[in-house]
Every structure is written in structure tokens, then in C-alpha cells.
Structure 1
């Protein structure tokens, strides 16, 4: 077998493997309605403040983004049946951080798993040491997967005063990861000259957290990637409060996510 035959065979195998991967990734076991159901729209108005604050034309785009997400990403229940309302909260969590980027998608995400409760590092949702509410899979069998505790996912949208939303939190991690690094610096979406000021801001706000002089979630002091995720939750959940208490942080996040939420959302 000569070198050209080997190269052709390798290319053909790669093409077949890619086709299988695409087929598997796009396999949709959920029949997405061609028209957005009115009951879905009512549910979003009740549960998702971000959607509620959008203009009529923006609402239509948000709905289209949800339908597209359903067509691309499987949502699977582990030990539970997944309802349309669960799917809508998962998809809303995904759409919110990237709404200002219409051409962008979570290209590496294949599946979202919903667990019936908080889970452990061994992915057990029964027994002891179950404190995890959400997780972005990295490597191995859980690569291209996001896992949520269903009760925690719902709590993020039910409680509108705690500045926390695990759904948004985990999808901000994927947003951050788009440049290849999960490091709290969303370089793809951040101007180069803004990176150093952002790092200084992380340092000063982390110092405030560690000294007990901040209302930011203490989990944000763990590392830069968790800082971005927890302040991102705050930004999308309570934008006016964030602007009032942390104006410099609010301005930085408005630039990153390309939206000035304090002007439109009621905390």
C-alpha cells in the first residue's frame, strides 16, 4: 500500500468518524414543535425574568434560540422523567449568557443530564457527601456533557433574590471555555486591553470576599473561573443591585456579555 493510498484511507476514515459523530450529536429524541407553544411562552413569562424583560422581537429570537438548542442538545433524565418545563429552564439557562451573540453556539455540548437531587463527586444522588448542584463535564465519559440537579435548577429561577442560578452558572463556564481555557477570562468575548483590568478587578473583589466585606458569593474566591461564574449569575439575576453595589464590576460584565441589563430588568 503506497503513501497516497494510506493518506486517502486515513482521510476517508476521518470523514466517516466525523459523520458518525455529527449524526450522534444531532440525534434528537425530542420532537420540537415547529411553532413555539403558547404554554411555553406563558411559562417563560412566569419563570424567566430575562425573557420577560425582552422586547417583542427579542422574545421571538429567544424562543427561536430555545428551539434550536432543543434540536442540537439532548436533555436526559437520570432517575426521573424530563418534562417540557425542565427543558425550558435548561435551554433558557443556555441562551441567556450568549443571547447577545446570535451566531454563537455551544459547539462542544452534546447532552444535558438532569439528576433528581444533589450529587457527589462520584455522580451518586443517594447517600452522603452530595453537595454538587451542577457540573460541566471535562474529559472521559462526561466530556461534552453538563449535569444539573433538577431541584437546584428550578430553585435558580424560583428564588429571584439570592443572586444565584446554577443553570446560568454552568453555562457561563462553557462561555468561558470557548477560547479553549476554563480560566475566568473569556478572551473570545473580551477586548485584549480589558484583560489586565479584569484580572485586577478579580483580585480586588476576591480580597473583599476573603475579608468578609462583600455580598458576593464566597465560592467566587476559589479561583478565577468560579469568580466569573458567580458574578455572572449575580449580573443576570440582580443587575440593578450589582450596578449599585459593584459599579465597576457591572460595567465590566456589561462589556463581556454585550448587554446593559440594569436599564431593562427589575430586580
Structure 2
């Protein structure tokens, strides 16, 4: 066969696959979403994520369908004695999938693996000082989001976050907000928003970030954790925690911020 014809056929096949692959993936996900939600998983939600039962029934159904897909696509690994079972997987998935409701989603496409430690874990990082000498730094964390396909979580903090859903702190929401942010590149507090919404998003979040920085510098008590003043990426993650966990307070104290997050997440938890 003529080499040119072979090249044309191969190119046509590749182009066809590019168009067909997303459709096949969505068909597979539709099939998964149509499966019954296991009874034991419903009991895990009742025990570990009671917040689920305060949500509107249509969102409960959506969340269960998202959990089914999420757990079919993501790998879990336990460390330091953590055994990965349905309780661990469903508890994490239920909180992570809250961020996907009511909007088109590709289920954290960069994420492949979730690492679970029993409690807070120590991470090691290197940085160069002004003389170029590498310095080792150790941090104790309850969660960490990597843009290379990994989220690391403390099971103790994950479990507590599901049970206590009104304190404005939730490590799963925090780290998966970073995953949304990282879908557009490095985490910078600018997840994907439509072009017509970008200006208002940038203006409101920049203003609120600067306000939190000033309040944190003065040691003022704030609704948003001062950790959100670290950088725009952490501000978006912290604001996401408060949006879902203390929505009424955010709506009162930071209405413009609440409305931006409501538009982004396409839910209104203040009325649940």
C-alpha cells in the first residue's frame, strides 16, 4: 500500500479516536451512575457524613452517582497501618464529590491516586537560601494536593471533617479545591471560570484575599482561617471550606465572595 495512504489512514484513525474516546468514557460513566448505590455505603454516609442528609434530595442522588464514578476511577493506598476499605473510600469520595455537583465534570481528571495516612503526616521539602545552599524543611500536614495525580490525606482529619460539618474546616474539601485549581496548571487561586465571569471573579477574590491578609497581620478574628492569607491558592481552598461548612455566615459577612463561589460551584448551601 502506498505509504502516503497509510499515513492518511493512521491520521484519520487517530483523529477519530480523539473524538470517540470522550463519548466512550461518558457512556461508561453513565452505566456506572445507573448502578444501585450499595446499602452498606448508605450506612457509611449516615455514620460518617451526616451532612449528606441535610442536602436536597436531587443533590443527594447526584452525589451518590458521583461517588460511584469517583470510586471506579481513583486508586486508594493506605500507609502506616491504614487499611483501605469501603468506609475510608466512601467517606473521602462523598466529601470530594461535593465540589462537583450541578455542573459538568471530568471527575478531577489529573487525579489518579489518593494516599491515606492515619493522622497528620510529615513532609520534607528543599529550598535554596540566598547563598544557593539547599535547606531541608519539615512540615506537619493533614492533607496535600499534588498536580501530578496525587492527593494525600490524614484519615483522622478526614473522618472528623465528615462528622463535624459546621466549623469551617474540612481537609478533603480543601485539597480537592486545590485539585480543581490545578486543572488549569499550577494552583494559583484561579480555577477555570467562563470568560465573561473571569473579571468579577478576579476582582472579588483579590479584594477578599487582601482583606484577609490585613486582618491576619493584625491578628483579628476572622471567619476564614488565616492560612488562607498565605497565597491566592490557599485562599481559594480555605474559602471553599467555609462556603460549604459555614455558608450562612459567609453570606452575611462576605456576600460578594459567597456569590462568586455559588456561581462557580453551582450550589447554594446557605438554604440547605
What TM-score bracket applies, with the shorter chain setting the length? 0.7 to 0.9
Asked if the contact 2:48–2:159 (Cα under 8 Å) also holds between the matched residues in 1, the reply is no
Bigger shift: 48-57 or 163-172? 48-57
Unaligned runs of 5+ in 1: 19-31, 124-128
Unaligned runs of 5+ in 2: 19-32, 126-137
Q: SS of the residue aligned with 1:188? A: coil
Specify the alignment match of 1:209 in structure 2.
Answer: 216
> What are the within-5 Å matches in structure 2 for residues 24-39 of structure 1?
34-39=35-40
Higher strand share: 2
* Per-residue deviation, 1:145: 0.9
Cα distance in structure 1, aligned partners of 2:43 and 2:107:
25
* Per-residue deviation, 1:116: 1.8
* Per-residue deviation, 1:184: 0.6
Q: SS of the residue aligned with 2:152? A: strand
Give the RMSD, CA atoms, in angstroms.
Answer: 3.2
Specify the alignment match of 1:51 in structure 2.
Answer: 52
CA distance 1:160–1:120, shift in 2 (3 Å): same
Specify the alignment match of 1:117 in structure 2.
Answer: 119
2:246 aligned with 1:246: no
Specify the alignment match of 2:207 in structure 1.
Answer: 200
Residue-pair matches, total: 240
Q: TM-score, normalised by structure 1?
A: 0.78
Asked if the contact 1:210–1:218 (Cα under 8 Å) also holds between the matched residues in 2, the reply is no
Asked if the contact 1:156–1:165 (Cα under 8 Å) also holds between the matched residues in 2, the reply is yes
Specify the alignment match of 1:132 in structure 2.
Answer: 141
| Structure exhibiting the larger radius of gyration computed from Cα positions | 2
CA distance 1:185–1:215, shift in 2 (3 Å): same
| Residues 134-175 of structure 1, C-alpha deviations (whole Å, 9 max, x = no match) | 11124xxxx211111111111212233421000110000011
Cα distance in structure 1, aligned partners of 2:69 and 2:265:
20
* Per-residue deviation, 1:245: 2.7
> What are the within-5 Å matches in structure 2 for residues 126-165 of structure 1?
131-138=140-147, 143-165=148-170
Specify the alignment match of 1:65 in structure 2.
Answer: 66
CA distance 1:251–1:50, shift in 2 (3 Å): farther
